[in-house]
Amino acid sequence: MKTYIVETDAIRHNLDVLLKKAGKTPIWAVLKGNGYGLGVSPMAALCWEKGVRRFAVTELDEAQIIREQYKDAQILMLRPTADQGELNRLLDLDVIATIGSSEDAAALNSLAAQRELVAEVHVKIDTGMGRYGFLPEELEKILSVYRYNDHIAVSGIYTHFHTAFAKAKHTFAQADAFRQVIQAITDAGIEPGAAHCCNSTAFLRWPELKMDGVRVGSALLGRVPVRAGLRRVGWCETTVEQLRWLPAGHTTGYGAAWRAKKPTQVAVLPVGWYHGFTNEYGHDIFRVRDCLRSALSALKAMVLRKKITVSINGKKCAVLGHVGMLHTVCDVTRVPCKPGDKAILEISPLQVRGMEIQFQ
């Protein structure tokens, strides 16, 4: 038995915190990546229940789930597309498109003209993320989107921060570049539309950047690198499969990375890296300093003798040896337990697989 538990009350609490902090500023609930791994439909329902009417996704399948559930929802597609099939579906679903280039604008404008309708769009400005959007210096192209596309109505403009988790200066430089674009549009006598730039972390750290809207995803799950009174959502619940005594000198796991110094009672749990346990992401080695940072944190973990743990009957138990594909072995010498007792493992909702996700 293994289940990924999602406490709906924790998500409701997080929504309350975020809505209070946003005040009159609208929140766009970002439900990309299948609602951060938890499912678009139940996540949308919780947001809707709290009065959130705006959603952002990157896939039309996600948009469709929300549209079928809530015909009055505003749905923003964060990924620009010039694909005819996708654009047709986007118009069918009444989804707000992102325009990140003149080609995006031309493709949508001509399709909307054929279909004799006006498509609502937000314009994306690339202030450093380097994925989608007009560069701030492409002002003429940006103005053209507003001016020369009769079948496109721009209701918003946005950018995305790349380093909201680190020093403020990066984020504020991006916000400045973004504001300058908005000012230039206004100076040209054009109404730019609702401006939004904050993701969860930027919004929680610098609410003064909230502008006309904030886009929050990970904060719904309380998984942000800021203390903001949010509750962390999601954990894996399983049961102790077997209890065994291993004699001194015995080992566990591939590579025999752990060897018993004395007789040790171990519990075997039916969850491993396949299910997302201990799979970390975001460890990049792009620059020398990223490598150093990874090495440093590994060193720190070693010096502090940081151990990976699981919780059995409410007690912390150290994981022994390498986590297996489907199994984890942990030390329960001092923890009274029996097969069938409950074990709790920390797994990111973005990593979890191979088990049912249960909202409770």
Ligand X SMILES: *Cc1c(COP(=O)(O)O)cnc(C)c1O
Q: How far is the CB of 219 from ligand X (least distance, A)?
A: 6
Q: Which residue has the tokens 């209890």?
A: 243
Taking the complex as a whole, how short is the minimal distance between the CB of residue 52 and ligand X, in angstroms? 14
- The span from the CA of 190 to the CA of 193, in Å, is 9
Is residue 14 near ligand X by the rule CB under 6 A? Answer: no
Indicate which single residue of 122, 215, 275, 327 sits in contact with ligand X (rule: CB under 6 A): 215
The nearer residue to ligand X, 81 or 218, going by C-beta atoms, is: 218
Q: For ligand X, which is the closer residue by CB, 223 or 327?
A: 223
Q: Toward ligand X, which CB reaches closer, 156 or 324?
A: 156
Q: Candidates 180-188, 211-219, 267-275, 281-289: pick the segment binding ligand X (CB under 6 A).
A: 211-219
How many residues bind ligand X, per CB under 6 A?
12
> What's the min distance (Å) between Cβ of 329 and ligand X?
34
What is the DSSP secondary-structure string of 107-119? HHHHHHHHTT--E
Shortest Cβ 142–ligand X spacing (Å): 18
Q: Map the footprint of ligand X across residues 29-58, applying CB under 6 A.
A: 30, 32
Residues 134 and 124 sit within 8 Å (Cβ to Cβ): yes
Query: Which residues ranging from 153 to 172 are in contact with ligand X (CB under 6 A)?
Result: 160
Query: 147-184 in b/e burial notation, b at 16+ Cβ within 10 A?
Result: eebebbebebbbbbbbbbbeeeeebeebbebbbebbee
Alpha carbon of residue 235 to chain centroid: 16
What's the closest the beta carbon of residue 328 comes to ligand X, in angstroms?
Answer: 28
Which residue stretch of 68-76, 107-115, 166-174, 214-222 sits at the interface with ligand X (rule: CB under 6 A)?
214-222
Among residues 162 and 250, whose Cβ is nearest to ligand X? 162
Measured distance CA(214)–CA(158) in Å, rounded? 10
Closest separation in Å from C-beta 273 to ligand X: 24
In terms of CB distance, is 132 or 258 closer to ligand X?
132
Give the binding range for ligand X (CB under 6 A) out of 47-55, 86-94, 204-212, 217-225: 217-225
Q: Is 292 helix (H, G, I), strand (E, B) or coil?
A: helix
Q: Applying CB under 6 A, does 219 fall inside the site for ligand X?
A: yes
> Cβ 158 to ligand X, closest distance in Å?
7
Q: Which residue's CB is nearer to ligand X, number 57 or number 317?
A: 57
DSSP state of 350: T
**CA 87 to CA 131: how far, in whole Å?**
19
Span near ligand X by CB under 6 A; candidates 213-221, 266-274, 281-289, 343-351: 213-221
Q: Which amino acid is at 97?
A: A
Nearer to ligand X, 27 or 246 (CB): 27
Minimum distance, C-beta of residue 64 to ligand X, in the bound complex (Å): 19
Task: Name, in order, each residue with C-beta under 8 angstroms of 289's C-beta and a sequence gap of 6 or more.
Answer: none
Own/partner pairs, 41-50, CB within 8 angstroms, 24+ separation: 41/65, 41/69, 42/6, 42/8, 42/359, 43/11, 43/220, 44/69, 44/70, 44/73, 45/69, 46/8, 46/11, 46/12, 46/15, 47/15, 47/220, 48/73, 49/12, 50/12, 50/15, 50/16, 50/19
Task: Give least dist CB 305 to ligand X, A.
Answer: 32
> Contacting ligand X (CB under 6 A), which of 78, 233, 271, 319?
78
Looking at residue 203, its amino acid is: F
Rg (C-alpha) for the chain, rounded Å, is: 24
Q: Mapping DSSP to helix (H, G, I), strand (E, B) and coil, where does residue 24 land? A: coil
Between 276 and 349, CB nearer to ligand X: 349
Binding site for ligand X (CB under 6 A): 30, 32, 78, 160, 199-201, 215-219
